[in-house]
Chain A
Amino acid sequence: MVIFYDWNKNEIDIQRNENNEIDIEIFIRILDPGKIAGMEAISNYFDENNILTDVFIYAYENQEYKVVVRKDFYVDFMIALFKYRLINKIEWV
């Protein structure tokens, strides 16, 4: 089973790349400024938890983010996106 997720294309742009055997790379661009706080909250959460290498979020100009997610924490990251309403649907298919 894999995770299927969906989002509002007017609020956020998401592109996923398989980076290597360990990581998944996700590029996120926030289009709706109201969603920036959610992205920052996710970044703070993964910065402050006890696992140092689970998710790295690198911020760039124009509300663009590169996210490097360890494969074993992919579900946790997607759930965090869902929790802060950056995606509006998540399910196993």
Chain B
Amino acid sequence: MEQQAILAIGFFLLTYGMIIAEKIHRTIVAMIGGVLMVVFGIVDQETALHHIDFNTLGLLIGMMIIVSITAETGLFKYLALVSAQKAKGDPVRILIALAVITAFASAFLDNVTTVLLMVPVTFSITRQLGVNPLPYLISQIMASNIGGTATLIGDPPNIMIGSAVKELTFMAFINNLAPIVVVIMIVTVPIFVFLFKKQIQTTEVAKQSIMKMDLNGVIKDKLLLKKSLAVLTLTIFGFFLHQLFHLESATVALAGAFLLLLLTGEHAMEKALTKVEWTTIFFFVGLFVLVSGLIETGVISQLATQAIALTGGNLVATSMLILWLSAIASAFVDNIPFVATMIPLIQEMGNMGISNLEPLWWSLALGACLGGNGTLIGASANLIVAGLAAKEGQPIKFLTFMKYGFPIMIISIILSSIYIYFRYLI
């Protein structure tokens, strides 16, 4: 192996190890890893820039702007409170309603944003009911990871896959992933109820206090709500049609974001731009450059050769290997760097003779997204909720989460294996 390739592997493993160790912020680590690839001449700056996927970044930035402005209206709080009243203040029904809302919202917004919007109102409802908020928070984390799997824009691994493979449109993601996501939710929600029912008992008085709440003042700005909903609807409609108009999903999201800023006025822009999670954006930039070092030095193509040798090029074996490997890996390491590494590897498998890559892409998407439920460190949404809960004196312990999350992750991957096999491999 060439010296440059060995150096690239060294920097990659060092960076990966430091991301897992979490001693230094993952964005700083990823950016330094990327910079090292350029400084040591493994990739030149021009090549590195070509490997940064603007479509992934533009889509994330656009959606973050739209959601941050929409959140100002109080819409998400209103939806949660209305559902709590529709559930007649019953804690179990509210658990189900909030999980379903989280899953649905996660399909069309990113998971981190969704849980950031849901956690405050969850604390508010559970305090009103006088019940432990942790069952609600844990079920929402899992629902966000499951729901986010359904669409191209729902979870960063899907954004990355959709951006790398042009044939996989927004509709293709929905057609191929939404059916199994619905099945997984139908199986998982009763499990949430079974696991948490005893922990969320309340009194009739508490239920009535939810029912009697006056929700008139919850929507803070009705005009802004109308504008936000119009643009959000237009943007999601744009995602459905982006291939027809030969537009990338980032173009749709950014067009929606800046149309909304045009409608809301200049004063909203500064605040909206500060709400963009720039740490996540730069994390992606660092990873794209880091992985470019492995691509340019031929390491990825070597790995693809070995993976094909391991499975004998058999599509069933390769799909199952990718699905389970992605799930287990994503449970313990951040799924974003994992998927950034797997995408060129699967593309390379295509160059080596596997003609039908579609089951491999769906296996990667399902494994990487659903694997995030395995442990507390499996996905960004998990860490965000755990951080917020700990700050409010309600820590979610690693083992407590794993006790619920790992079995649910295994069940969802078994269901995904059956789905992939029967839909694509026979």
Contact = CB atoms under 8 A, between A and B. Distances in A.
**Co-assembled chains A and B:** yes
Given A58-B209, A66-B209, A53 B123 contact: yes
A64 to B, nearest CB: 8
A6 to B, nearest CB: 27
Interface residues of B, number: 18
B388 A52 contact: yes
Interface stretch (B89-97, B213-221, B256-264): B213-221
B128 A59 contact: no
Nearest to B389: A52
Contact of B212 (A51, A56, A61): A61
Interface string B105-137: 000000000000001100110011000000000
B266 interface: no
A44 interface: yes
A7 B124 CA distance: 27
Interface residues of A, number: 15
B393 A53 contact: yes
A15 B119 CA distance: 29
Interface in B389-411: 391-393
Nearest to B218: A59
A28 interface: no
B388 A59 contact: no
A4 interface: no
B392 A53 contact: yes
- Shortest 10 CB-CB contacts between residues of A and residues of B: A53-B392, A59-B214, A52-B120, A52-B123, A61-B214, A56-B124, A53-B123, A60-B214, A56-B127, A52-B392
Given A44-B220, A52-B391, 7 more contacts: A23-B127, A51-B392, A52-B388, A58-B128, A60-B213, A61-B212, A66-B209
23 contacts: A23-B127, A40-B217, A43-B217, A44-B220, A47-B120, A51-B391, A52-B119, A52-B120, A52-B123, A52-B392, A53-B123, A53-B127, A53-B392, A53-B393, A56-B124, A58-B209, A58-B213, A59-B214, A60-B212, A60-B213, A60-B214, A61-B212, A66-B209
Interface of A: 23, 40, 43-44, 47, 51-53, 56, 58-61, 66, 68
Interface of B: 119-120, 123-124, 127-128, 209, 212-217, 220, 388, 391-393
